[in-house]
């Protein structure tokens, strides 16, 4: 360990060392290498952070010694000395991980100050106000960040001081006031911590380094990582950099600038600066910063130098840069550069412009966009200014993206009625069931107290493109179901709520939304993506309308049509319920006879929408708890329709109750017990295909019939025989030629590990990773939301396995099944239709294991097209 290098001077690194030095450190090194004016310093590596955690959250002696060697080097470079009143070295200590995590971790400025240094500094700079201001800022930051004293105590002291002096602004406080404030801050520190504020710069330094390492694991950083797929074991680097001061008087200043407009993508320098200020003043909003072009008049020489640096940096990194700079007594210093965060619209425009300007290739353009950002283009979003003024009152699962605002509605009927009348409503439910579909359709957004990322509400909302926040357990309903409380407030149907389905945030007020807008730049990039993609992108669609929507987004077929979902609508659900509660074959056949024409009609609509592209239709798979009627009116109506006594029907329903419906009488088990179900569905699938093929001889309609929830090859063979016997008879009778395929879902672990046997009967596999995740983890899809938070907090899991494929566990089953399946059927067609098919990191995994296609809900199709292209480019 002793010969391991944990610290690098800026002049020793470069941009390629991002993993080791973090983004900020690598870029400071790169700028140094490019000869740009960078205050010198060094970077303590991400490996040192990992070592810190391995050592039980201590900085070991070897690392400490190495840091001290580099402090000595920095003293030599700058000609200043740590703690030397005559010529003090003051440094900033900042975090910087591999991936940019803006604002998530900690920063400390002006480190090295103490009572003697500040005196000397005041004299040396001939600016006591500046010296004491720097000192009190340091005490405040150190106490807050390193010792976790809490900002508010110090802010109160500032407020008291301002009141005593009869002034309103911090800048109106005098040098004497600030000196007094520094003393009060130190007293406050002692009162809270029980010891004196450290005056030794070395002690200060290691306190600060430790705080930065520790901030890697603060709750907001952990949450940010989960949202952005950043692994917890990357760690953060620490940058120690000699301070330059923007608050040294009127020839000093500080600012932030982007090389292009981060909101629109428009070319041209964009940014703000403040003279006589330190970095935090620009963001704090106490004084209004000036736009960057004002710098031209303020200091033309610095402005010209800055413009030149900006253009050099953008060309060098071939991407829009976000930069921080400071001017110290007329001299420009670059403190940071990084690829700038940008809105979705800007991301596409910048990518296209950079290609047009000849700065990047189309491959790079495709690779540089975060596919998750596409959501923001396809769904309404909150008005940014209104959102900034709002405070969330709760946070659930970000189940279906977009933003929605509306008045509360407690029942699906009410939501449908008010929605139809043009009123914006948010449907708030304990959980949703198929009965709620119409209300879900007319609601602007859906909020549920229960349910995970693959619960009914989540899957259906995503399919419809409706914003949904699920699993917000804190929503508590009044006994009469006419109000709920959240965040200490009670909501009735006259109250507004707003949902952010991309973050899971819930707001107890109206927040304006802006409509989705897909521009031409998006179209260009997505077409380039299609050139590089090797996997196909299909969609999960259950109705002709969804299928058409998916086609518009570029779907190349249907990977999953959940046939039970065709019956969600109010006028149809009765038919499927009749089938479920049938006691006799006759009753069931009567119900099936009602279902047949509806299914055939829908299949025709879907084949038409897909214009000859492949369509995978799955046989019925209705988990009983989602479909059995619970509402008294529904039960009465069903009894009347089936000519049963209500009591008798209730008995049947009670007898169908299951303890674990997700592992109950569903999937192909239904066809094993009631073969007539599979036969009816096959008839609908094949007859629809024959009809559409006749109408469109130019297409080749090849239905793919998929048998769900298979765990054993004999079970598959049994159901497959029902399918093929029925299909062949119909085709022969019609006297036509029609090809069709029969395959299965791999969604039970046993199917995955016996996939070589299964493949002898299956022409294709489609990985149902929702159930496969549920059954591999033994986590209920509907209930996991309740306890997964505890798993994130305890770092047992970093992300929701229902949203992001667990590559290490579930992924192994997928890989095993792929290999085994190919061993007995080398040309087997392989796809995925679980919700992971729309998740970029999971899509990359699908590319790696060699799937032929991914299938996802319509609104995720563009995301999947881009993610699949990125995965293919990565694999090159
Ligand atoms: C799955 O289990 O992954 C799947 C696609 O099927 P469902 O979500 O309908 O159970
Ligand atoms: Mg399933």
Asked whether the beta carbons of 28 and 239 are under 8 A apart, the reply is yes
* DSSP β-bridge partners for residue 272: 256, 291
What phi-psi label fits residue 615: left (phi over 0), alpha (psi between -120 and 50 degrees) or beta? beta
- Cβ neighbors of 543 (< 8 A, separation 6 or more) are 565, 566, 602, 605, 606
Lookup: tokens for 15: 């941009």
What pLDDT digit, counting tens, does each position of 720-758 carry? 999 999 999 999 999 999 999 999 999 999 999 999 999
d(CA 657, CA 651): 10
pLDDT for 343 equals: 81
Lookup: tokens for 866: 């881009």
* Strands 496-500, 489-491: pairing kind: unpaired
Closest Cα to residue 535, out of 148, 92, 157, 838? 838
Q: Where are the alpha helices (DSSP H) in 808-860?
A: 810-824, 840-849
HSE at residue 676, side-chain half, CA atoms within 13 A, is 15
Lookup: tokens for 100: 């940019």
Q: Whose CA is nearest to atom 6 of ligand 1?
A: 768
DSSP H or E segment with residue 484 = strand 484-486
What is the CA(834)–ligand 2 centre distance, in A?
Answer: 7
The reply to whether ligand 1 has any atom less than 6 angstroms from the CB of 771 is: yes
What is the CA(708)–ligand 2 centre distance, in A?
Answer: 7
Lookup: tokens for 637: 């109506």
* Strands 445-448, 467-470: pairing kind: parallel
Whether the model clears a pTM of 0.75, i.e. scores above it, the answer is yes
Sheet hosting strand 489-491, strand order edge to edge: 476-477, 484-486, 489-491
Residue carrying the six token digits 């065709």: 566
pLDDT for 1 equals: 45
Cα dihedral value 790, 856, 580, 604, nearest 10: 170
Closest ligand 1 atom, CA of 708? 6
d(CA 215, CA 234): 13
pLDDT < 50: residue spans in the chain = 1
Say how far residue 147 (Cα) sits from the centre of its chain.
Answer: 32
Lookup: tokens for 801: 């396995």
Q: Which domains does the chain have, with CATH numbers?
A: 48-242 (3.30.1490.20), 253-339 (3.30.470.20), 380-514 (3.50.30.10), 533-623+658-875 (3.20.20.60)
Of 456, 565, 625, 836, which residue is the catalytic one?
Answer: 456
**833 is an active site residue:** yes
Asked whether the beta carbons of 51 and 6 are under 8 A apart, the reply is yes
Closest ligand 1 atom, CA of 540? 5
pLDDT for 864 equals: 98
The reply to whether ligand 1 has any atom less than 6 angstroms from the CB of 770 is: yes
Of 833, 836, 846, 856, which residue is the catalytic one?
Answer: 833
* DSSP β-bridge partners for residue 332: 327
Angle among Cα 349, 353, 358 to the nearest 5 degrees reads 155
pLDDT for 411 equals: 93
What three-state secondary structure class fits 391? Answer: coil
d(CA 199, CA 194): 15
pLDDT for 332 equals: 97
């Amino acid at each position: 360990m002793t010969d391991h290098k944990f610290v690098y001077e800026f002049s020793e690194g470069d941009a390629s060392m991002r993993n080791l030095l973090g983004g900020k450190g690598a870029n400071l090194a790169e700028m140094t290498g490019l000869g740009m004016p960078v205050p010198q310093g060094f970077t303590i590596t991400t490996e040192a952070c990992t070592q810190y955690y391995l050592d039980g959250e201590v900085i070991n002696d070897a690392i400490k010694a190495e840091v001290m060697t580099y402090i000595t080097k920095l003293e030599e470079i700058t000609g200043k000395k740590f703690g030397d009143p005559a010529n003090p070295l003051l440094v900033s200590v900042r975090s910087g991980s591999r991936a940019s995590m803006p604002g998530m971790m900690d920063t400390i400025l002006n480190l090295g100050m103490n009572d003697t240094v500040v005196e000397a500094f005041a004299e040396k700079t001939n600016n006591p106000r500046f010296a004491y201001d720097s000192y009190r800022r340091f005490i405040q930051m150190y106490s807050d960040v390193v010792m976790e004293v809490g900002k508010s105590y110090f802010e109160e002291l500032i407020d008291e001081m301002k009141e005593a002096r009869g002034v309103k602004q911090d800048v109106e406080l005098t040098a004497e006031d600030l000196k007094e404030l520094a003393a009060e801050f130190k007293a406050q520190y002692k009162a809270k911590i029980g010891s004196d504020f450290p005056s030794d710069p070395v002690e200060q330094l290691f306190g600060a380094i430790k705080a930065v390492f520790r901030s890697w694991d603060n709750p907001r950083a952990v949450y940010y990582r989960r949202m952005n797929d950043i692994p917890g074991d990357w760690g953060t680097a620490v940058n120690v950099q000699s301070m330059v001061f923007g608050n040294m008087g009127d020839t000093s200043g500080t600012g932030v600038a982007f090389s292009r407009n981060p909101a629109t993508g428009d070319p041209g320098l964009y940014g703000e600066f403040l003279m006589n200020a330190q970095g935090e003043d620009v963001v704090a909003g106490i004084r209004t910063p000036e736009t960057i072009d004002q710098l031209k008049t303020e200091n033309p020489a610095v402005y010209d130098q800055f413009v030149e640096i900006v253009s050099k940096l953008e060309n060098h990194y071939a991407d829009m840069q976000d930069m921080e700079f400071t001017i110290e007594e007329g001299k420009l210093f670059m403190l940071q550069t990084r690829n700038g965060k940008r809105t979705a619209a800007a991301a596409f425009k910048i990518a296209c412009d950079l290609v047009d300007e000849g700065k990047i290739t189309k491959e790079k353009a495709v690779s540089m966009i975060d596919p998750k950002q596409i959501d923001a283009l396809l769904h309404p979003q909150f008005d940014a200014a209104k959102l900034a003024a709002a405070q969330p009152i709760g946070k659930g699962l970000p189940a279906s993206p977009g933003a929605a605002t509306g008045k509360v509605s407690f029942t699906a009927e009410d939501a449908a009625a008010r929605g139809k009348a043009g009123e914006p409503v948010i449907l708030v439910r304990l959980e949703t069931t198929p009965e709620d579909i119409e209300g879900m359709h007319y609601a602007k957004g859906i909020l549920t107290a229960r349910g995970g990322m693959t619960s009914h509400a989540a899957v259906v909302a995503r399919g419809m493109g409706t914003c949904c926040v699920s699993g917000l357990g804190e929503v508590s309903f009044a006994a009469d179901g006419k109000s709920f409380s959240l965040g200490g407030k009670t909501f009735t149907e006259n109250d507004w709520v707003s949902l952010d389905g991309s973050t899971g945030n819930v707001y107890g007020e109206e927040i304006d939304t802006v409509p989705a807008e897909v521009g031409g730049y998006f179209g260009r990039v997505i077409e380039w993506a299609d050139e590089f993609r090797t996997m196909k992108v299909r969609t999960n669609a259950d109705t002709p309308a969804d299928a058409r929507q998916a086609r518009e987004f570029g779907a190349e077929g249907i990977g999953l049509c959940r046939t039970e979902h065709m019956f969600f609508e109010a006028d149809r659900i009765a038919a499927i319920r009749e089938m479920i509660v049938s006691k006799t074959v006759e009753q069931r056949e009567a119900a099936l006879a009602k279902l047949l024409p509806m299914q055939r009609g829908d299949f025709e609509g879907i084949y038409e929408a897909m214009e000859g592209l492949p369509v995978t239709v799955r046989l019925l798979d209705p988990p009983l708890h989602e479909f059995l009627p619970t509402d008294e009116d529904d039960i009465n109506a069903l009894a009347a329709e089936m000519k049963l006594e209500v009591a008798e029907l209730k008995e049947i329903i009670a007898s169908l109750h299951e303890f674990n419906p997700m592992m109950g009488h569903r999937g192909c088990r239904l066809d094993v017990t009631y073969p007539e179900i599979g036969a009816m569905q096959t008839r609908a699938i094949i007859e629809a295909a024959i009809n559409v093929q006749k109408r469109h001889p130019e297409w080749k309609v090849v239905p793919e019939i998929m048998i769900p929830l298979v765990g054993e090859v004999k079970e598959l063979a049994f159901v497959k025989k029902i399918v093929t016997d029925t299909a062949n008879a119909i085709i022969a009778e019609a006297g036509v030629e029609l090809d069709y395929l029969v395959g299965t879902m791999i969604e039970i672990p046993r199917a995955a590990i016996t996939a070589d046997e299964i493949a002898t009967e299956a022409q294709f596999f489609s990985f149902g990773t929702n159930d496969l995740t549920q059954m591999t983890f033994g986590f209920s899809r509907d209930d996991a939301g309740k306890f997964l938070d505890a798993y994130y907090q305890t770092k047992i899991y970093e992300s929701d396995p229902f949203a992001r494929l667990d590559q290490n566990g579930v992924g192994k089953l997928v890989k095993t099944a792929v290999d085994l399946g190919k061993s007995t059927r080398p040309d087997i067609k392989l796809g995925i239709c679980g919700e992971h098919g729309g998740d970029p990191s999971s899509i990359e995994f699908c590319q790696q294991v060699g799937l032929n296609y991914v299938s996802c809900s319509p609104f995720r199709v563009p995301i999947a097209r881009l993610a699949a292209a990125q995965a293919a480019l990565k694999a090159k």
